[in-house]
Structure formats: C-alpha cells, structure tokens
C-alpha cells in the first residue's frame, strides 16, 4: 500500500514512522525548503507521551527537555508579582521541549523520503486510489493521501473546501522569535517569565545555546498579520518596560520568526474517500489548550492503528479513526477556549484573579491541583478502542 503525506510536522512524521513499520510505502511532501527549524517550546504530556513511549523516544525526550522550574509573572520593572513552582506531578509528567527537537527525534528514525519545497496542487480520486498532482509537476497515484499540513491545510482546502468554513479564530495573534543574549538568557535561567497587561501578553524563556525565546500574544480583532510584524510589536509592547526595550529592536524579519493567528479547526468529517487529515489540519486545539502536539501524535497513532486492522480498504478505518478521536479533541478545544482569559486576560480584573489563583497554586498541594486541571486523562485514546456500535 502506498501513502502520500503532505506536511512534515509532528503529525505527518509520526504517521510516516508508524506506516512504514506496517509495510506501507510512504512519501512525504513538505512546503518548506528544508527540515523546519526554529519555533517555540511546547509542554508535552498525556496521550502524545504515551505514543512517544511506544516509539522508544522517552530517553531522547528526557535528554532534550528544558527543566522549567517556575512560571513567574512580572511587572513593568521585572519584579515578580506571582508565580508557581513546577514541582511534583507537574515536573514529573510535563516535558518542556522545543517543537523542532520533538519533530527531529521522530524524523531521525524515518526511512521515507521527504521532498521539500513541494506541495499538493490537485487531487482526483476513485474507489481504488487517489491521483495527486504535485507542485513540482509530478503525479503520484496512491492508496491514501494524508493532509498533515497544519491549520491552513492545502489538502483540506482541496478535499473539503475553503478554510474559512473550518477555522475558529480565537481573537489573538502569536509571534515567537529567538535571539542570542548570554546575559539575559542566564538571568532568566530555568524560569518562564511573563508580563501581562489587558490584551497583551509576552513571555521569555532561555534556550541551551545562550539564546532567549520571546513570545508575544496579543488581542486582535483582525486575524490578518500586520504588514510589519516588528514595527507592530514595538508599537504595542514598546512602552511596557521589563526586558522589552532590549529585545524588541532585535526582532528578526518575518521569514525568520513564527507568526500566526490563533485558531482552532472544527470539522465533523476528517476524511473524504481515500483522503484523510491528521493533526492540526483537522483538530487544532490552539496553544491555549496546550495539547496540540500531543494530540497530533495521538491522532497519527490512532490512524495508523485503525489502518493496520483494516487490510486493503482503508476507508472504514478512516471513519473509525475519527470516531475514536472526536470526543477528546472537542473536550480539549472547549478547555482551550475556557483558558484564553487565564493565559491572555483582557481586563485588569482578570489579571488580578489570575495572580490570586497562582498564589493559591503555590500553596502546599497546589501543584497537584494544577497538574490535575492541566493534564488530560487522554491516554485511553491510545489503549482503548470504542465498541463498534456506530457501525463504521
């Protein structure tokens, strides 16, 4: 059986990893000119970690993790206003990693070819296969086409229609970039430090090579990116003090940073015949939910698991994969939406309430409560198959 996967992110790579071990011939096409570097830190846990364990990745994840010991909220002068120490269950179960390091770990163990600077240009399918036109002018005929190409998925657009039907914009834009600064990097140490004013949030964490990652999350009614991202950040954050006067002038050009609108993707179907979506392309939960990479890996594993059981006709497997994932995704999306005002409060009252909650979480036992509210009980996605009453 042959599969073409569009997108070499965590979902696409994880699916390729499993399919090739199940005897599939897999080819990946990726829009970027080379393996994607740069990015942002993710907290990785729950069902994705269960999949990573099954892939033997735990030792590497443990080596790659950043030991974030505290989340600190600071004021304009950089003084701590509240915070929570990452101890106990949170420290044991949550792995803070760079997205690229996790993707690299999966990539290093893959044999399937990745064709860069290439995407899907057109799709035609019948009962026995899919003919895919690629942007490099070649044509592939495969048993399965997978759209693992993120929230703005091209495969979704070709198979299901315009993205506006499926994107739920959460009213925020996110920018992340890194800069070299040994002094600031040392000063931040193992803390994640963050400053919030109504509608604007910024955070900083140190990376291994004496660099610093800066994250900017801002309220914006218009989801379109600003014409000049660096100028817009300076305009909005330039007067807020803390380390911002030092780091804003060093914002790189748009092609060297990560910028996107914050979206969730909501769909009632994830496949059309032999075309299927995986990861953010069909189930993006947003950074507010904090489980996107974990669910992307879980989705890739569940899809491979159903295909493994299906034999030669994958279409029923694609429906069962969606049925297995749908509730966990919907629950996580709901959780994500409820978390927006905690992570990026839009009023001063909300900021005060958040600081109060953080002080409570800092009390003995608070870390366990926080872990309970943040860590999903989603590992049964991997271990449990629902009964087949739906008849799919």
Ligand X SMILES: Cc1cc2nc3c(=O)[nH]c(=O)nc-3n(C[C@H](O)[C@H](O)[C@H](O)COP(=O)(O)OP(=O)(O)OC[C@H]3O[C@@H](n4cnc5c(N)ncnc54)[C@H](O)[C@@H]3O)c2cc1C
Residue 220 binds ligand X (CB under 6 A): no
What backbone phi and psi angles, to 5 degrees, belong to 145? Answer: -110, 130
* Span near ligand X by CB under 6 A; candidates 35-43, 205-213, 309-317, 332-340: 35-43
Residue 367 binds ligand X (CB under 6 A): no
Residue 48 CB, nearest approach to ligand X (Å): 6
Residue 190 CB, nearest approach to ligand X (Å): 17
Residue 18 binds ligand X (CB under 6 A): no
Contacts of ligand X in 112-151 (CB under 6 A): 119, 148-150
Q: Considering only residues 51, 57, 130, 287, which one is a binding residue for ligand X as defined by CB under 6 A?
A: 287
* Span near ligand X by CB under 6 A; candidates 29-37, 197-205, 224-232, 268-276: 29-37
Residue 44 binds ligand X (CB under 6 A): yes
Residue 223 CB, nearest approach to ligand X (Å): 14
Residue 7 binds ligand X (CB under 6 A): yes
Residue 357 CB, nearest approach to ligand X (Å): 19
Strand order in the sheet with 70-74: 80-85, 70-74, 191-197, 200-206, 211-219, 167-180, 258-265
Contacts of ligand X in 176-195 (CB under 6 A): 176
Query: Between 10 and 230, whose beta carbon lies closer to ligand X?
Result: 10
Residue 219 binds ligand X (CB under 6 A): no
Query: Between 154 and 320, whose beta carbon lies closer to ligand X?
Result: 154
Residue 22 CB, nearest approach to ligand X (Å): 20
Residue 65 binds ligand X (CB under 6 A): no
Query: Between 87 and 119, whose beta carbon lies closer to ligand X?
Result: 119
Residue 47 CB, nearest approach to ligand X (Å): 10
Contacts of ligand X in 68-107 (CB under 6 A): 99
* Span near ligand X by CB under 6 A; candidates 30-38, 165-173, 182-190, 197-205: 30-38
Cβ atoms of residues 48 and 297 within 8 Å: yes
Q: Considering only residues 290, 314, 336, 378, which one is a binding residue for ligand X as defined by CB under 6 A?
A: 290
Enter the tokens of residue 145: 């086409």
Residue 263 binds ligand X (CB under 6 A): no
Residue 291 binds ligand X (CB under 6 A): yes
Cβ atoms of residues 150 and 280 within 8 Å: yes
Cβ atoms of residues 145 and 132 within 8 Å: yes
Q: Convert the chain into a string of H (helix), E (strand) and C (coil).
A: CEEEEECCCHHHHHHHHHHHHCCCEEEEEECCCCCCCCCCEEEECCHHHHHHHHCCCHHHHHHHCECCCEEEEECCCCCEEEEEECCHHHHHHCEEEEHHHHHHHHHCCCCCCEEECCCEEEEEEECCEEEEEECCCCEEEECEEEECCCCCCHHHHHHHCCHHHCEEEEEEEEEEEEEECHHHHHHHCCEEEEEEECCEEEEEEECCCCEEEEEEEEECCCCCCCCCHHHHHHHHHCCCCCCHHHHHHHCCCHHHCEEEEEEEECCCCCEECCEEECCHHHHCCCCCCCCHHHHHHHHHHHHHHHHHHHCCCCHHHHHHHHHHHHHHHHHHHHHHHHHHHHHCCCCHHHHHHHHHHHHHHCCCCHHHHHHHHHCCCCCHHHHCCCCCCCCC
Residue 29 binds ligand X (CB under 6 A): yes
Residue 66 CB, nearest approach to ligand X (Å): 12
Query: Between 265 and 319, whose beta carbon lies closer to ligand X?
Result: 265
Query: Between 226 and 292, whose beta carbon lies closer to ligand X?
Result: 292
Residue 296 binds ligand X (CB under 6 A): yes
d(CA 233, CA 249): 10
Q: Considering only residues 5, 26, 27, 40, which one is a binding residue for ligand X as defined by CB under 6 A?
A: 40
Q: Please report, as ranges, the residues that interact with ligand X according to CB under 6 A.
A: 6-12, 29-32, 36, 40, 42-44, 99, 119, 148-150, 154, 174, 176, 279-280, 287, 290-294, 296
């Amino acid at each position: 059986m042959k599969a073409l996967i569009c997108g070499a992110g965590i979902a696409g790579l994880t699916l390729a990893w499993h399919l090739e071990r199940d005897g599939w011939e897999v080819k990946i096409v990726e829009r970027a000119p080379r393996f994607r570097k740069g990015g942002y830190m993710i907290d990785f846990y729950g069902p994705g970690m269960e999949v990573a364990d099954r892939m033997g990745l735990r030792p590497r994840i443990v080596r790659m993790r950043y030991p974030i010991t505290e989340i600190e909220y600071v004021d304009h002068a950089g003084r701590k206003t509240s915070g929570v120490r990452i101890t106990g269950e949170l420290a044991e179960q949550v792995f803070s990693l760079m997205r690229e390091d996790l993707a690299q770990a999966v990539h290093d163990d893959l044999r399937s070819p990745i064709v860069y600077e290439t995407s899907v240009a057109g799709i035609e399918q019948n009962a026995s296969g899919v003919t895919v036109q690629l942007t490099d002018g070649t044509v592939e005929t495969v048993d399965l086409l997978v759209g693992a190409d993120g929230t703005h998925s091209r495969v979704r657009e070709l198979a299901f229609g315009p993205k506006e039907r499926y994107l739920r914009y959460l009213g925020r834009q996110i920018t992340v970039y890194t800069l070299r600064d040994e002094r600031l990097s040392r000063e931040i140490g193992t803390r994640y430090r963050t400053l919030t004013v109504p509608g604007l949030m910024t955070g900083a964490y140190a990376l291994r090579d004496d660099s610093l990652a800066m994250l900017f999350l801002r309220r914006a009614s218009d989801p379109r990116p600003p014409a000049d991202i660096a100028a817009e950040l300076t305009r909005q954050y330039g007067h807020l003090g803390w380390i911002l006067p030092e780091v804003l002038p060093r914002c790189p050009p748009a092609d060297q940073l990560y910028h996107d609108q914050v979206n969730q993707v909501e769909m009632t179907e994830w496949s059309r015949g032999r075309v299927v979506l995986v990861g953010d392309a069909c189930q993006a939960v947003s950074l507010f939910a904090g489980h996107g990479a974990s669910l992307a890996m879980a989705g890739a594993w569940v899809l491979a698991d159903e295909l493994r059981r299906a034999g030669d006709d994958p279409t029923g497997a694609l429906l069962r994969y969606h049925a297995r994932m749908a509730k966990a995704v919907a629950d996580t999306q709901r959780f994500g939406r409820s978390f927006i005002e905690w992570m990026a409060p839009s009023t001063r009252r909300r900021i005060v309430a958040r600081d109060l909650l953080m002080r409570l979480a800092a009390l003995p036992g608070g870390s366990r409560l926080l872990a309970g509210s943040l860590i999903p009980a989603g590992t049964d996605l991997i271990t449990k198959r629902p009964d087949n009453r739906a008849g799919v």
